[in-house]
Amino acid sequence: MFKGVLFDLDGVITDTAEYHYKAWKKLADDLGITIDRKFNESLKGVSREDSLRLILEYGEMTDQITDAQFQALATEKNDNYVVMIEEFSEADVFPGILPLLKALKQHKIKIALASASKNGPILLEKMHISDYFDAIVNPASVPNGKPAPDIFIAAAESINVPVTDCIGIEDSKAGIAAIKASGVLPIGVGQAADLGSDIALVDATDKLTFDYLTTVWAS
């Protein structure tokens, strides 16, 4: 039986993925770079700074931006994003997540957050679910972001559970790659076309029941 569950946040626990997209789209539009939802798939799970690097590369603008401008753009995106999540509450927790957190607690399974977002702790507070988490990894504390395995390895360590006894839940291509590389068992939230057909997948979070996790673990 698994002993720990490592949760991604954006796109798994709540719909912040949409707000990240809107904030990046506005920033890119202002720079004259057109990004769409397909391109956005490559930003999911990727840190703020690496996302900005990818957008500037996509718009062939990398060489035109100084370090100071880069920092200012990253701050501008986050300022817009923070306004968008200002009113977050319990109502923004995706369907099925609260019952899953409760069931995991009941079964004494440890829970950790493995999100690339520096806004993770604030969001958990706003949604009133912080208390379910035994640990929250600070994404700034790991050397390499997703798709590197670092944050999932750190998340397993933070709850004192070997990676081989953990399930990781992710909605992004970079995140699934990170989980696979860490030795944790992945469950994807999304489509095979984005996340691959070689892992357990649900198309919506209400399918993430305790029984479903148990079945995936046993298979």
Which parts of this chain interact with Mg ion (CB under 5 A)?
A: 8, 10-11, 45, 171-172
Nearer to Mg ion, 12 or 216 (CB): 12
Position among 6, 25, 51, 150 found at the interface with ligand B16 (CB under 6 A): 51
8 flagged as catalytic: yes
Residue 172 contacts ligand B16 per CB under 6 A: yes
Give the Cα separation of 160 and 57 in Å (integer): 39
Judged by CB under 6 A, the chain residues 65 through 94 that form the site for ligand B16 are 78
- Phi and psi at residue 93, to the nearest 5°: -75, 130
SS3 content of the chain, % helix, strand, coil (to 5): 55, 10, 35
10 flagged as catalytic: yes
Nearer to ligand B16, 118 or 128 (CB): 118
Per partner kind, with CB cut-offs from 5 to 8 A, the member of Mg ion, ligand B16, none near residue 117 is ligand B16
* 8: Cβ contacts below 8 Å, ≥ 6 apart: 45, 114, 115, 168, 169, 170, 171, 172, 175
Give the Cα separation of 148 and 26 in Å (integer): 28
List residues near ligand B16 by CB under 6 A: 8-11, 17, 20, 43-48, 51, 78, 115-119, 172
